[in-house]
Amino acid sequence: MKYQKTIEKITSGSMSRSDLVNIKKNAEEKFSKGDLDAKDVLIAINNASPADQYILFMGFCPDADVNNRLDAEWKEKGICTFDFPESEVQVERFNTICAGDRVVLKKIESFGKTMSLFGHGRVKSVAYDENG
């Protein structure tokens, strides 16, 4: 396999999150230019756990309306989705999630003061749909 050593390094769990991000950008560029073997690197990255794991507190109520809550569906399907592309800051943050990170589902009670927690889980892998 063309990138076997790189993939072994990625899957070792010794690479930092920033190293994985840099390798991912490089692999995406190579793949977009026709290097189909770079897809194997991208798959490895989406399943890799970085040495530095995060805890991400994530809201699950679009428009801050509890009637729109998504947590039950996420827990049932074992997934967590992000459908708020208008917020570049949140998109960037969501795109840093890696396997091994912990996601804590939260609902703001009093902005800047309190929140309620509704569940948590460890990320097993990262996947993207046709919209990114």
Compute CA distances 118 → 61, 91, 104, 107, 112, whole Å: 12, 22, 8, 8, 18
Distance of alpha carbon 109 from alpha carbon 115, whole angstroms: 5
Q: What is the mean pLDDT of each run of 10 residues along the chain (132 residues)?
A: 94 93 95 96 93 86 77 84 77 83 86 86 82 58
Predicted local distance difference test score (pLDDT) of residue 34: 97
Predicted local distance difference test score (pLDDT) of residue 95: 80
Q: SS3 letters for the chain? A: CCCHHHHHHHHCCCCCHHHHHHHHHHHHHHHHCCCCCHHHHHHHHHCCCCCCCCEEEEECCHHHCHHHCCHHHHHHHCCCCCCCCCCHHHHHHHCCCCCCCEEEEEEEEECCCEEEEEEEEECCCCCCCCCC
Predicted local distance difference test score (pLDDT) of residue 87: 76
Closest CA to 19 of 43, 49, 54, 56: 49
Predicted local distance difference test score (pLDDT) of residue 132: 55
pTM confidence score: 0.71
